[in-house]
Structure 1
Amino acid sequence: MPRSRMLEYDGAAWHEDCFLCSGCRKPIGSEAFVPDNRRFYCLACYEQQVAPRCSHCRKALTKGGLTYRGEVWHRDCFLCCGCGSALAGQTFTSQGERPYCVRCFSSLYAKKCAACNTPITGFGDGKYVSFEERQWHQPCFKCSRCSVSLIGSGFFPDRDQILCADCNSDD
């Protein structure tokens, strides 16, 4: 067509007036656009009609973001359900469908070590020993009298104590 500029994208060519937004049908021209499954959208139509919506704020997610349990989130909207701190880029866990930072999860849900009474989170040195209703961090699983490690050896429960074979035979 005379006096019409040719536009090229991804190996295809269009007349300037034929390269239209799939949403509003206006010519895109030299404006920014977003390709989506062989369709092209001006930025406004992409945000209004096509872009995924953040599960928290419901605004269009146009760059970055993250996916958690099949839902998309802005990085700043993905927050701990306990304290409200941002979880993007840090270790977190969940209780049911709700995400928590390690600190909140530990204080709200984690079992406490029978020796040191701090949470057993499963993060870092997360190995632990469980016996009946009690749990211990591996480094805390020691004889209550002589403090020898009981990992890999027999032990004897004595009310709220755990004893190695030597200390148990001293009784």
Structure 2
Amino acid sequence: MPFGGGNKCGCCQKTVYFAEEVQCEGKSWHKSCFLCMVCKKNLDSTTVAVHVDEIYCKSCYGKKYGPKGYGFGGGAGVLSMDTGEGLGIKPEEHAPHRPTNNRNASKFAKTPGGSDMCPRCEKTVYAAEKVVGGGNSWHKGCFRCAKCGKGLESTTLADRDGEIYCKGCYAKNFGPKGFGFGQGAGALSHAQ
């Protein structure tokens, strides 16, 4: 490398001199250009994620190129409402809630080609949109309580006859009935 000049910056394509150089994946960057391509956060060797010739912080990289589907990308105990629109990802349009007409939906419902069928909308469930609960594969948008339409998680559902419910609706509709049930601790019920 000549004394007066250096490599071209991977971002601005201007000459990078030694005093201001950051190297990543065999390329040179100005310290001021070594930023996430989406959120513009400053990066370093521990926070950079590279995709072809693009650099990202690990969070933006995960949102854009990481696994998709239920349970991915949030980390323990994190609720993320980020739809990814800043990354050019279009948010999913959810179909309106429709209970399934199939009272005894097969736990092994498959299309002739072998892929899973959603018991709610009766369409093919592909791996990227698959959520498993109650012994069936569901679309993310269909993975809702059959009574109230509340979104479910595998830990917050109860299933009955091939349909899924939130714990509250399940208890109201299929839980124990009669004296002393359903009122909470210490309450008396005089149901007749």
Q: What TM bracket, shorter-length normalisation?
A: 0.3 to 0.5
TM-score by structure 1 length? 0.39
TM-score by structure 2 length? 0.35
Higher relative contact order (CA 8 A, sep 6+): 2
Structure whose residues are more often strand by fraction: 1
